[in-house]
């Protein structure tokens, strides 16, 4: 199943890559914000 999904993604690589990059950036931002909040709570 995974291999088939990868082949489908390859058909529209540019759009898929853009979506994956945007999703990764958003996840990194949320993780950074969560880490900052956790550190602030620890200090308080």
Q: Which residues have CB under 8 Å from 2's CB, separation 6+?
A: none
Q: State which H helix or E strand residue 17 sits in.
A: helix 13-43
Dig out the tokens for 44 from the structure: 């308080």
User: Could you read off the pLDDT of 1-44 as tens digits, one per residue?
Assistant: 556 555 555 556 788 888 999 999 999 999 999 999 999 999 88
Specify the pLDDT at position 39: 95
CB 15 within 8 A of CB 9: no
Report if pTM > 0.75. Answer: no
Q: What pLDDT does 15 receive?
A: 84
Q: Return the pLDDT at 11.
A: 56
């Amino acid at each position: 199943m995974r291999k088939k999904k990868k082949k489908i993604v390859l058909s529209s690589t540019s759009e898929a890559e853009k979506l994956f990059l945007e999703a990764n950036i958003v996840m990194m931002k949320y993780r950074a914000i969560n880490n900052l909040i956790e550190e602030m709570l620890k200090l308080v």
